[in-house]
Chains A and B, each alone.
Chain A
Amino acid sequence: MEMPVPRPEILARKAELVERLLEVLPADAVISDPAETRAYECDALTAYKCPPLVAILPGSTEEVAAALRICHEMGVPVVPRGSGTSLAGGALPTADSVILGVARLNEVLETDYDNRFIRVQTGRTNLSVTGAVEEYGFFYAPDPSSQLACAIAGNIAMNSGGAHCLKYGVTTNNLMGVTMVLMDGTVLDLGGAHLEAEGLDLLGVVCGSEGQLGVVTEATLRILRKPEGARPVLIGFDSNEVAGACVSDIIKAGVLPVAIEFMDRPCIEATEDFAKAGYPMCEALLIVEVEGSDAEIDEQLGLIEDIARRHDPVEFRQSRSPEESAAIWLGRKSAFGAMGQINDYMCLDGTIPVSQLPHVLKRIGELSKQFGLDVANVFHAGDGNMHPLILFDANKPGDLELCEDLGSEILKLCVEVGGCLTGEHGVGIEKRDLMTHQYAPEDLEAQMAIKDVFDPKWLLNPAKVFPLASSDARRVA
């Protein structure tokens, strides 16, 4: 993965930079010892590592602004970092950059149940946002699988999703307002406890901008009352086509499940070996979850059963208790762990139109054979967000590169059938060089124009999202 060459004139000014940062930040918030900056050398895309020049951990919006002002004046690139759980390399530093970690910004600032929002500092973890309101029966809907660790700042940067998006949407649909700091230290508020943008929807652009437009320090998030109950069913099929048709029929019938998860045979086999959830051995498996009161759940599941039966399932298992529900989810939730047990794996994140599911799975099978690497598929089937897991051996020379090449082919396939490169993980460095497959030069130009306005010197997380060749002229400026 190519990254820009660190600029010697910045490396040479490290001492001055540290000194100036120490004027505006507490001593323990400025990390410059190479032994310690190594802790920030990568995120969850661990194949790529580079310690930053300095890491800082500001404790307030004002400190963030003061630190950014200094970096802006000195022309030092800044890489914002939430909890470092990005699978796309969104928080990967360069040797001449400052990592700005929001970990110390973790307070709940306001909870308002009448108006149904919570205002938090963005270093707070996703799950702890729900934790702050669940006593009153509320929750924060976006639930990325890293939710125990990932920070709201990173969720906003990547517009994170989760398994329940079909009903509740992703981060951008649940974000009401932010306080953010621009690269030049300007602090501004967008949105708030009210709905709708004033003028242009800048909040909508900031969400998902991968830390390239500003550092979001506070967020107003929509909270929802928990449903009375939720229950899954597990349905097994002897072909991917039939499972895909069943998903489509459920949706067409007017039932809106809160989640429809799909696993293919390689994934079922791996998770059974690992978690022994008692899944049927079949080609394709769906987990469909619905919400509401007991009677409402019964009614919806009854409809789903009618539809599923028309497709001759090899198994239809309805949960009758919380224990049975947990058992149904067990295999799905262990899928990634199961893969890790077998080998190293790379998790892809393309989205496809649901109707293309059988075709795409068939093509992935062929590509897997061609490259000689196993691929298992877990899939948010309701919204078409795929997570092909490619197994490889990091210790075997050339295997990572082979895996990346296969990953690229799969993502190009997603784009070809009308989908996209990434549904919820973000572009980062991982998919940066594939952007030209989805977007024409003028499409990328329009996106980069946004960054020109928010960060004219291109100092914030500069080497991400856009192919280096496209952003070259801007980054040098």
Chain B
Amino acid sequence: MTLGLLAALVLVLAIGGFILGRQRALSSAKGDLRKLHSLPGYYGQTVALFTAVPAFVLMAVWLFAQPALIETRVAKLLPGEEHLDLVMTDVRKIAEGLDLIVAQGYLSNKAISDMRADLSDIRSRMGDVGIALGSNVKPTVFEAAKSYRSLNHMGRIGMTVAVLAVALAGFASAFLRIQPEFRARNVSESFVKVLLIAASLVAIATTVGIVLSLVFETVHFFKIYPAADFFLSLTWNPQFGGGSDLGIWPLIWGTLYVSLIALAVAVPIGLFAAIYLAEYASKKLRAIAKPLLEILAGIPTIVYGLFALITVGPMLRDYFAQPLGLGTSSSSVMTAGLVMGIMIIPFVSSLSDDIINAVPQSLRDGSYGLGATQSETVKQVILPAALPGIVGAILLAASRAIGETMIVVLGAGAAAKLSMNPFEAMTTVTVKIVSQLTGDTEFASPETLVAFALGLTLFVFTLILNIVALVIVRKYREQYE
């Protein structure tokens, strides 16, 4: 039974449960609604919830746990394989091919269980259904694939039976409890509350998922590539055939250089724009200019990337880099930095604007009363008062710049270099995550797994920046409230 059908069946059961539960409540009260503890709908709701929710939870857990359980069992059938990950990929492919062979009617299930890799040509049969295998299939691998496939089938059948059983059990237990004294509203409301709590746990689950997947694969990476080389080497030179240099420093340098240029563009523009809009601009100008600047934050980053690629890059190359003899590449640190700077202007300006507006008017009045001009008030009273908040805003913008991907992918280039020349193509952590994970190298190689180590570095880096920024902003806000 397909998943969709199973889910639909459970839903139908739940809807049926609602109708039947409501009717049973009504009939148990013998038409006198006042005898019921709750409104009749709540009896139906209770039955529906008890039918659907445990069944769906079981389904989700089963779908999540089944692959891992089956893979460990199948892996036991393959003792002494060196590259277990690769072999498992083959096993999965062959199992998929066998499914296709049965689905397209070439062979029956029975014929497949009799098939043996040393007797029949598996590879050409797989080719018939469009599964390409790199080499001939070893008998052990083929047996593993067969058991993988049958375990998967059993798992699917087991899940269908279990889910339906749980749904029916929930249905029955709720349905049989229905009588006029049954506190249906309280029960269903507690149930809903549990659901609400579960929904708010999704955020925690996401964070845990991020951390686990990053840490797990990073540990995997450091098992096959020395951590010292990763953190201390100054060359980044991945090779297809192995023997790569995967030092992180050129990437960190590129990331910091681009972010630095971006901040050098965004901080003055954003800060002065915020000051002007908060202190000087008329209401009308503010109503126009503020949303216009905020549009910059709403434009997808791919648009900025294309802007860097087709407009800013060639312009910088033709008018600055080439006449000055600094380089001939249109993708450069400067290109990416400038465009990224434009992107983060609103991050600086909006937050700073809020913070400047939060400075109490009494401070301004006091300063004007002493005879200070408006700009002196801004420089000597408002900015010092707003400084922690502004620093927080800048840190948030920096974290945004470090984690930005599309602009650097399209604007900064792919060459990992340690250079000071801003018109040279360099690369960043995020660019390399993309290129290592979208390439053709096999998943278990250090060249691919390094992306997870880079991801973890990026995650930790931005997390620290965010937390520091949030703490600063929050601490500052408390001063005036």
- A and B bound? no
A residues with CB within 8 A of B: none
- List residues of chain B with CB under 8 Å of any chain A CB: none
